Amino acid sequence: MRVLRELIRRPSALFGLIVVVLVLLAAIFAPWIAHFSPDDQLADGLSLEGAPLPPGGGHLFGTDTLGRDLFARVLFGARTSLIIGLVANGVAVAIGLLVGLLAGYLRGAAGNLLMRFTDLMMAFPALLLAIALAALLKPSLWIVAMVIALVNWVQVARIVYTETRGLVERDFIVAERSLGAGNGRIILLHILPHLMPTAIVWGTLGIATTVLLEATLSFLGIGVQPPQPSWGNIIFESQSYFQDAPWLVFIPGAIILATALSFNLIGDALRDILDPTQRGRL
């Protein structure tokens, strides 16, 4: 509750929170909000010349190149993009937390091996690695989520490793060891709770990166495949109509931008609130 009160007190964080809640509600209640199925090619969805209809009338966001209601596709696309964002980022944070924690606590040869592997993964550009993995595997919602998770965990691992190295030298950890506490008890009861603020902050900030990466992969045609809508493949399908029907690109693009910005604003606020060194500056 303290964290929530602090978020509400910050205008930028409050704006981000409102946008995220609205997007989540729109995704959850998409079947009841949308008046059309996202896959229905409507008889009146195109003009007499076969062009998409502009926003207005019976179609709030207009229609796409196949006469499908764009508002419905954006709503259902939010489900796809957010599922991938939450699942992929959750897995990435879990992997990074595990690798960084073990490397920082074990140290020695095992810790060095884990961190050299992390450095090796960081040496590859994330987008190129994701493109390569997505091209090798058959693209689907869960495959795309796992691909994104496999390229996004390294930053979390590096941060957690640094924090864990500092924690294991603290007096309360040394005291626990002198009292005969086992490694499992020290990790679960004394180190992991100190790492949770970092995991929460990176979990929030990472959603924005994950949503953007999913949109990029879908835009390149190796993400979620049509007819299942996602914000990225909506833009991909409409890119050739950018000049004649700009709303097909601008609307989903603006929603991607607003969602990513909102998660970043919340993550920045959480970092300041949960970081003990920043509390005196609030």
**pLDDT for the residue numbered 26:** 92
3-state secondary structure 201-244: HHHHHHHHHHHHHHHHHHHCCCCCCCCCCCHHHHHHHHHHHCCC
**pLDDT for the residue numbered 282:** 44
Q: Tell me which amino acid residue 29 is.
A: F
Band of residue 278 on the pLDDT scale cut at 50, 70, 90:
low
Say yes or no to pLDDT of 18 above 90.
yes
59 compared with 73, residue with greater pLDDT: 73
263 falls within a domain: yes
10 falls within a domain: no
Q: If you average pLDDT over every residue of the chain, what do you get?
A: 84
114 falls within a domain: yes
Query: If you average pLDDT over each of 99-108, 186-195, 217-226, 232-241, which comes out highest?
Result: 99-108
Q: Which residues pair with 46 in a beta bridge?
A: 52
256 compared with 48, residue with greater pLDDT: 256
Say yes or no to pLDDT of 268 above 60.
yes
Q: Which residues pair with 52 in a beta bridge?
A: 46
* Residue 16 to residue 238: CA distance in whole angstroms: 28
Task: Give per-residue pLDDT as tens, 62-111.
Answer: 888 888 889 999 999 998 888 888 888 889 999 999 999 999 888 888 88
The predicted model gives 33-55 an average pLDDT of 84
Say yes or no to pLDDT of 32 above 80.
yes
173 falls within a domain: yes
b/e code 121-150 from CB counts within 10 Å (16+ = b): beeeebeeebbebbeeeebebebbbbbbbb
38 falls within a domain: no
**pLDDT for the residue numbered 275:** 64
pTM over 0.95: no
* Residue 65 to residue 52: CA distance in whole angstroms: 5
DSSP conformational letter for 194: H
139 falls within a domain: yes
Band of residue 199 on the pLDDT scale cut at 50, 70, 90:
confident
Task: Give per-residue pLDDT as tens, 150-189.
Answer: 888 888 899 899 888 888 888 888 787 777 777 778 888 8
Task: Give per-residue pLDDT as tens, 34-44.
Answer: 888 888 888 88
**pLDDT for the residue numbered 280:** 45
Range of the domain at 259: 72-274
Using CA atoms in the order 143, 76, 240, 63, what is the torsion angle rounded to 10 degrees?
Answer: 160
CB atoms inside a 10 Å sphere around CB 1: 5
**pLDDT for the residue numbered 276:** 53
Residue 143 sits in a domain whose CATH number is: 1.10.3720.10
31 falls within a domain: no
Say yes or no to pLDDT of 205 above 70.
yes
241 falls within a domain: yes
Q: Domains in the chain: how many in total?
A: 1
Least confident of 11-20, 219-228, 261-270: 219-228
